[in-house]
Chain A
Amino acid sequence: MSENAVVFKGTKEGLYILIKEEMNLDNIKDNLNEKIKPSKRFFEGAKIVNFKGKQLTREEFDELKDLVENDYGMSVLEEYSPNTDMLSDKEEIKESTTYEKLPYDNVIQDKVLILRATVRSGQLIEYTGNIVIVGDVNPGAQIKATGSIIVMGTMRGVAHAGSNGDYGAFVSALNLLPAQIRIGDIITRSPDGLGIRTSVPEMAVVKRGMIFVEPYLPNR
């Protein structure tokens, strides 16, 4: 029953070790060893902000600190404090689900409309935020979003991303064959005739004031 005695939690401030309340010190230590050992190199040098959850005594804290610091080369940043309770801890867990610590640049946190359907001719899907269509968009249909548009299927209609003038918005589809793409107030249309048929997922973005369509997974 010691499997989940401890949990590693990443938050805005850094890494915490969460300890279940009902566990005794031996269980905690066993579990810590169990969790860290297989990926010892991963944890080496990691900075733990503090322990959380179970109210630790001074002795317990020192013992655990000693374990992670000496056996596994991690460091505990904060000093022992007796008033870490579960309540504030729950808030921390909630906060840890925000994306602010994601190590990427292009993180979109706006609202997203997810639609699982075939969007047919004459249908207009309009949304303040991003739109994800799980299905096809047929000719004569129109998708209009203030954010970006993603089509998990074939895009044959008119896509208008960044309809409030956001040139950073994009349009991507598994099969991008639109009649027209608009990003902000830039409009481009598909070439006349049958055009080029690619089988790779593509993405339309604004570069130098023009709309460019390119594969977004260049290695496929």
Chain B
Amino acid sequence: MGEVIVITSGKGGVGKTTTTANIGAGLSQEGKSTVLVDADIGLRNLDVVMGLENRIVYDLVDVVDGVCRLRQALIKDKRYPNLYLLPAAQTKDKNAVTPQQMQELTADLAKEFDYVIVDCPAGIEQGFKNAIAGASKAIVVTTPEVSAVRDADRIIGLLESNGLKNPQLIINRLRIDMVKRGDMMNIDDMIDILAIELIGVVPDDEHIIVSTNRGEPAVSNNESVAGQAYRNIVKRILGEDIPFMNLESDQGFMTKLAKMFGFSKKK
């Protein structure tokens, strides 16, 4: 019986879909059979980020409505052998499925896969309720912004009142240079407010934008710092004890590089 994990945030644009794609690809790289479920009905993106848009024939709503079998709607990833995607419908809306149906669907998937990762839509309405319905574990994604942290806090409260105790936290798009200047919230401040277990910090990285636009998760890119961060998150999900990356050493390297080329960092 596999584990159903929902990736959620409350606020939009913090990187739920990117995180879902990278964790899914990372778990697959580690040899776990994984299925990604796009619960963002009507605003689907996961298929685009995975580069699988043109393979969609049936979607989640078709499965729920009994138009097709579950197997028919699953799209096999083009790079990872044991990674599958269940796309959302684009021409319907969140009310096309009920939490009850989502629960049954994720339970069916959990029978066949080691991990079921559900990409939750932004907001706290029907779509959120659908996405968390079948989950046994939640990962909350936030960015170091007051608004994102506020929404994450709200989401953690809702998760707990829906029986999803002890959600884990991913801090996304952190810029260590800004934190050092005091222009960005630091990790400790955020953990202080949210008071949940931190499972990973993903630095802001250009590779993410490039890989998202290409439809290739950054987790397989060894040069990407964000990719490295996602690989670590995946290992922590699998239960390994991985120390957090020293993001500052990377900063030091960049500074050295800048000095080499004759630029001096503004203080």
Flag whether A40 is at the interface (Cβ < 8 A): no
* Complex alpha-carbon distance, A122 and B90, angstroms: 5
Which residue of the partner chain A has the closest CB to B78? A192
> Is B51 a contact partner of A192 (Cβ separation < 8 A)?
yes
A139, A142, A179, A192: the one within 8 Å of B91 (CB): A142
For B21-60 the 0/1 string (1 means CB < 8 A from A) is 0000000000000000000001110001001011111000
Tell whether, in the assembled complex, residue A180 and residue B91 are in contact, meaning their CB atoms are under 8 Å apart.
no
A180 & B90 in contact (Cβ 8 Å cutoff): no
B55 surroundings in chain A (CB, below 8 A): 180, 189
Contact across chains for B53 and A139 when beta carbons are under 8 A apart: yes
A93 proximal to B (CB < 8 A): no
Q: Kindly state the interface size class of chain B when it binds its partner.
A: 10 to 19
Q: Which residues of A contact B90 (CB under 8 A)?
A: 121-122, 140, 142
Is B53 a contact of A124 with CB atoms below 8 Å?
Answer: no
Looking at chain A's contact residues, the main secondary structure is loop
Please classify the interface of chain B as helix (H, G, I), strand (E, B), loop, or mixed, using the class held by over half of its residues: loop
> In the complex, what distance in Å separates the CA atom of A92 from the CA atom of B91?
47
Q: Which A residues lie within 8 Å of B44 (CB)?
A: 140
* Cβ distance A101 to chain B, nearest Cβ, rounded Å: 41
When the two chains form their complex, are residues B91 and A123 in contact, meaning their CB atoms are under 8 A apart? yes
Contact partners of B53 in chain A: CB under 8 A: 139-140, 179
Q: B24 CB to closest chain A CB, in angstroms? A: 18
A114 within 8 A of B: no
Is A190's beta carbon under 8 Å from chain B?
A: yes
Q: In the complex, which residue of chain A has the Cβ closest to the Cβ of B53?
A: A179
Rounded to whole angstroms, the CA-CA distance of A139 and B45 in the bound complex is 11
Cα-based distance from A179 to B44 in the complex (angstroms) = 15
Chain A residues with CB under 8 A of B51:
192
CA distance A139 to B53 in the complex (A): 9
B42 touches A180 (CB 8 A): no
Contacting residues, chain B, for A158 (C-beta < 8 A): 56
Q: With CB as the reference atom, state the residue of chain A lying closest to B215.
A: A192
Interface assignment of A115: CB less than 8 Å from any CB of chain B: no
Q: Which of A131-150 contact B (CB under 8 A)?
A: 139-140, 142
- Which residue of the partner chain, among B42, B54, B56, B78, contacts A122 with CB atoms under 8 Å? B42
Indicate if the CB atoms of A190 and B91 lie closer than 8 Å. Answer: no
The smallest beta-carbon distance between B127 and chain A, in angstroms, is 14
Chain B residues near A187: list those with CB within 8 A. Answer: 57
- Nearest CB to that of A187 among chain B residues? B57
Q: Provide the residues of chain A in CB contact with B78, threshold 8 Å.
A: 192
CA gap between A192 and B55 in the complex, in Å: 10
| Complex CA–CA separation, A88 to B224 (angstroms) | 81
A162 to chain B, nearest CB (A): 16
Within 8 A of A (CB), among B76-105: 78, 90-91
Most buried by A among B42, B48, B78, B90: B90
Chain A min CB distance to B167 (Å): 30
Q: How far is the CB of B226 from chain A (nearest CB, A)?
A: 23
A9 to B238: give the CA distance in the assembly, Å. 82
Tell me the residues in window 150-189 of chain A with beta carbons closer than 8 Å to chain B beta carbons: 158, 179-180, 187, 189
Cα distance, A189 to B53, chains bound together (Å): 9
Chain B, residue nearest A140 (CB): B90
In the complex, chain A residues whose CB is within 8 Å of the CB of B42: 122
**Residue of B whose beta carbon sits closest to that of A158:** B56
Q: Compute how far the CA of A124 lies from the CA of B93 in the bound complex, rounded to whole angstroms.
A: 13
Contacting residues, chain B, for A190 (C-beta < 8 A) = 54
Contact of B54 among A121, A123, A179 (CB under 8 A): A179
Q: Which B residues lie within 8 Å of A179 (CB)?
A: 53-54, 56
* Residue in A122, A123, A142, A192 with the greatest tally of chain B CB atoms within 10 Å: A122
Residues of A within 8 A of B (CB): 121-124, 139-140, 142, 158, 179-180, 187, 189-190, 192
Q: List 17 A-B contacts (CB under 8 A).
A: A122-B43, A122-B91, A123-B91, A124-B91, A139-B48, A140-B44, A140-B53, A140-B90, A142-B91, A179-B53, A179-B54, A179-B56, A187-B57, A189-B54, A190-B54, A192-B54, A192-B78
Which 8 A-B pairs give the minimum distances between C-beta atoms?
A: A189-B54, A124-B91, A179-B54, A122-B90, A140-B90, A190-B54, A180-B54, A179-B53
